[in-house]
Amino acid sequence: MKSFLLPLLIMAILIMSCGQSRDQNRSRTKNNDFKIKVDSLIKLMTLEEKVGQMVQYSGGWDLTGPKSDNNKLKKQQIEDGLVGSMLNVTSVEQVRAAQKLAIENSRLKIPMLFGYDVIHGYKTMFPLPLAEAASWDLDLMERTAKVSAKEAAAAGVNWTFAPMVDISRDARWGRIMESAGEDTYLNTVVGLAKMRGYQGDSLSDVNSIAACAKHFAAYGYVKSGKEYNTVSIGEHELHNVVLPPFKALAEAGIATFMNSFSDMDGIPATASYRLQTELLKDEWGYNGMIVSDWGSVEELSTHGVAEDFADAAKIAVNAGNDMGMESSAYAKHLVQLVEDGKVKESRINDAVSRILTLKYKLGLFEDPYKYCNEEREKNNIYTKEHLELAYEAALKSIVLLKNENKVLPISKDVKSIALIGPLANDKNSPLGNWRARAENNSAVSLYEGLKEKLPKNIDLKYHEGVDYVISGENFATPLKINTTDDSKIKEAVKIAKSQELVILAVGENAFQSGEGRSQTDIGFAGLQTRLIKAVYEANPNTIMVLMNGRPMDISWSAKNIPAIVEAWHLGSQAGYAIADVLLGKYNPSGKLPVSFPQSSGQEPFFYNHKNTGRPDVNPYDVIHSQHNDVPNEAVFPFGHGLSYTTFEYGDIQLSQNSFTKGESITAEIQITNTGDRVGEEVVQLYIRDLVGSITRPVLELKDFEKIKLQPGETKTVSFEINEETIKFYTINKKWEAEPGELKLFIASSSKSLKSKSFYFKT
């Protein structure tokens, strides 16, 4: 093309992009329209510019992976139009400055995407994803994602690396905190709610941002819960357990996918053609884009499947990965690889087309500074309204695990309370890990919450009990936990004795869970066990408040302490919410999205395991499937959570006890609030397929409904069961419903179950 014509053509396409987008009837012509624009733009691009779109660099403001490359070099690359996206650049000022480099200097003026880990809030912190999943409130989860998107978008960010929908069954794996727990169905519906919240009705909305389904796939299955480890998983388990949330998100139109660091059966996910191209793009028809994880392209050579970074780039792109995160391998080698015929230019065009389409959808071609508005940044972040939502989310995420003799809610007769424990006045841990732009130490601590909410005539005494974390409270620094100095326990015991009631706040520091935070022991770290036992001995009238990012081994406490409240890392308003639950101003309604084991050695531990050929009938039966030293059953099972009121479940009524293709049956049950307070209950539907072409789990969650009941009130809950409900990935490697007997359970947890048989006939 003659060089004088090129600038005119570029101008024409960019102007066409702006004018048309504003005036067109979006719903009718949108996708086709994007395609025409993208195709025309790609025709103008040099190979170097195309490759540039596939490069994503960290701005270095936040380091969410090992050390970044030279920032000076990156700046020049942006000016040359050779960087498609940045991550970890936040604030209007910094995003604008970075975007300007591309828009004002590069030949084609293609705007960059700005990605960030907005995992459970941007500055207003909501409960950890695992905690929030305990609310089983999908509407709430959508609303918190919407607010997170609004805050992030106001600070220049247009893409979040969330939701993580890795099924997480091993509590030793620190990233369990970022998931919705151990169950496939729960992860699927939570993932969809989160996606709806982030992406809104349209990506073109100024308050919406692109979401990302991660980590594709099976990252949660790393051996022994050890971060970045290898994964061994059979094909049936992969399809039945791990893939469904990803498939649902792909079908629902999530803008992006991220692959994974892990190696599955010898093939690192970033190198997996089977996963990225055959399954996701071809079989599922996904037309969004796939970003690698941080440096995972280069890591292919560390894994030992690529000879060098050039080979790594070749393998990753040919496998279907579209953008390399914090990866210079694409920038350095892709052009040569195409010229040498090792990567087809059509593959590059496909990747670039996916990336540019997202930029069009977000409206970045209309206005590259669309997310850079100082007014919105000033008004839309950390607002009173957002903090109110953080409070609501914290309340609803709390799970009452145990409440012997109705110790809770704290009686009005109690006049003196000891608040003890290293987490009791911790203003940092409730913010959790992956805290984006939350200000450190900005959470309301439990001590602050109680001081504000308790009647003034109550004598509240606080003591930390033990020094816990000594240093290292940061994303990537090792935590140093005190294991020797127990000098403070004595004083705490004295206070425990002096008061009528003790509240013991223990658990995990924010940075004990999250990326890179695998542990072999999921019990209480440091000197907490010593503290717990000493305090309990001094005053058995003790309530334990747990703050943590993973299910823990709390078996001693579960046996001995009369009341236990699971308060996770609940975000900005944690202390107020916990205080209101303890004082009975809010009736807890959360249910566990993960099982609590008897001991770390049982991990991975989950309710929906297989029956095996020798199921354990009585605890400690030898020559059965069990550990000899602990019972098989959970200390607190999946789905468990108490209320200050009680619920009675009636008998299950089935509309008919068999159905065939195209038909459905309805299961109904009456639930009555038999206590004296208004309360909410999560009514859960499980099924068991008794005989299958492959072994089937002993239980599988299939649906749930959260209902609110006044004292004495009865409500009927009904669930529909059809062919889709009972389909699974069968021996034929297809999703099929097999004929035969199934059992249906409706219950308040995966443990207390009423059941009915039903049949599917072909």
Q: Please answer whether residues 14 and 109 qualify as being in contact, where contact means their C-beta atoms are separated by less than 8 angstroms.
A: yes
Rounded distance, CA 183 to CA 167, Å?
A: 6
Write the interaction track for ligand NOJ spanning residues 514-553; mark x where CB under 6 A is met and - where it is not. Answer: -x--------------------------------------
Rounded distance, CA 720 to CA 201, Å?
A: 28
What backbone phi and psi angles, to 5 degrees, belong to 748?
-95, 0
What is the Cβ-side half-sphere exposure of residue 657, based on CA atoms within 13 angstroms? 9
Select from 17, 53, 56, 64 the one that contacts ligand NOJ (CB under 6 A): 64
State which residue, 56 or 99, has the beta carbon closest to ligand NOJ: 56
Bridge pairing between strands 563-566 and 542-547? parallel
What is the Cβ-side half-sphere exposure of residue 517, based on CA atoms within 13 angstroms? 30
CB of 215 to ligand NOJ, least distance (A): 6
Site for ligand NOJ in 273-312 (CB under 6 A): 293-294
State which residue, 214 or 370, has the beta carbon closest to ligand NOJ: 214
Q: Where are the alpha helices (DSSP H) in 703-755?
A: 723-726
Q: Please answer whether residues 626 and 599 qualify as being in contact, where contact means their C-beta atoms are separated by less than 8 angstroms.
A: no
What backbone phi and psi angles, to 5 degrees, belong to 268?
-55, 140
CB of 88 to ligand NOJ, least distance (A): 7
Rounded distance, CA 244 to CA 548, Å?
A: 27
State which residue, 549 or 697, has the beta carbon closest to ligand NOJ: 549
CB of 212 to ligand NOJ, least distance (A): 7
State which residue, 64 or 429, has the beta carbon closest to ligand NOJ: 64
Site for ligand NOJ in 482-521 (CB under 6 A): 515
155, amino acid identity = A
Site for ligand NOJ in 171-210 (CB under 6 A): none
> Hunting for tokens 């950890």 — which residue is that?
128
CB of 515 to ligand NOJ, least distance (A): 6
Site for ligand NOJ in 12-51 (CB under 6 A): none
Containing H/E element for 258? strand 256-259
Sheet hosting strand 658-660, strand order edge to edge: 658-660, 753-761, 740-747, 679-689, 700-709
CB of 114 to ligand NOJ, least distance (A): 13
Q: In the numeric block, which tokens belong to residue 494?
A: 């004295």
State which residue, 112 or 701, has the beta carbon closest to ligand NOJ: 112
Site for ligand NOJ in 71-90 (CB under 6 A): 87
Rounded distance, CA 734 to CA 236, Å?
A: 10
Site for ligand NOJ in 354-373 (CB under 6 A): none
State which residue, 142 or 293, has the beta carbon closest to ligand NOJ: 293
What backbone phi and psi angles, to 5 degrees, belong to 553?
-80, 105
**Which residue, among 322, 321, 362, 314, has the nearest Cα to 340 in the 3D structure?**
314
| CB under 8 A, 24+ apart: contacts of 374-378 | 374/92, 376/153, 376/154, 376/206, 377/91, 377/92, 377/154, 377/155, 377/156
CB of 519 to ligand NOJ, least distance (A): 18
Write the interaction track for ligand NOJ spanning residues 91-120; mark x where CB under 6 A is met and - where it is not. Answer: --------------------------x---
State which residue, 120 or 640, has the beta carbon closest to ligand NOJ: 120
List the beta bridge partners of residue 614.
Answer: none
Residue 214 interacting with ligand NOJ (CB under 6 A): yes
> Hunting for tokens 């093309």 — which residue is that?
1
Rounded distance, CA 725 to CA 442, Å?
A: 44
> What DSSP state is assigned to residue 68?
-
Residue 386 interacting with ligand NOJ (CB under 6 A): no
CB of 514 to ligand NOJ, least distance (A): 10
State which residue, 165 or 581, has the beta carbon closest to ligand NOJ: 165
CB of 326 to ligand NOJ, least distance (A): 8
| C-alpha distances in Å from residue 452, one per residue of 205, 448, 623 | 39, 6, 56
Q: Please answer whether residues 582 and 543 qualify as being in contact, where contact means their C-beta atoms are separated by less than 8 angstroms.
A: yes
| C-alpha distances in Å from residue 537, one per residue of 404, 554, 560, 635 | 17, 17, 10, 22
Q: Which residue is nearest to ligand NOJ (CB)?
A: 64
State which residue, 294 or 360, has the beta carbon closest to ligand NOJ: 294
Site for ligand NOJ in 315-334 (CB under 6 A): none
Residue 598 interacting with ligand NOJ (CB under 6 A): no
CB of 164 to ligand NOJ, least distance (A): 7
Residue 170 interacting with ligand NOJ (CB under 6 A): no
Whether 293 is catalytic is yes
Select from 37, 53, 55, 65 the one that contacts ligand NOJ (CB under 6 A): 65
State which residue, 53 or 85, has the beta carbon closest to ligand NOJ: 85
Q: Please answer whether residues 134 and 590 qualify as being in contact, where contact means their C-beta atoms are separated by less than 8 angstroms.
A: yes
CB of 171 to ligand NOJ, least distance (A): 18
Catalytic pick from 293, 322, 580, 703? Answer: 293
Rounded distance, CA 243 to CA 272, Å?
A: 15
Residue 150 interacting with ligand NOJ (CB under 6 A): no
Size of the site for ligand NOJ (CB under 6 A): 9
Rounded distance, CA 63 to CA 72, Å?
A: 16
Site for ligand NOJ in 117-136 (CB under 6 A): 117
- Active-site positions read 293
List interacting residues with ligand NOJ (CB under 6 A).
Answer: 64-65, 87, 117, 161, 214, 293-294, 515
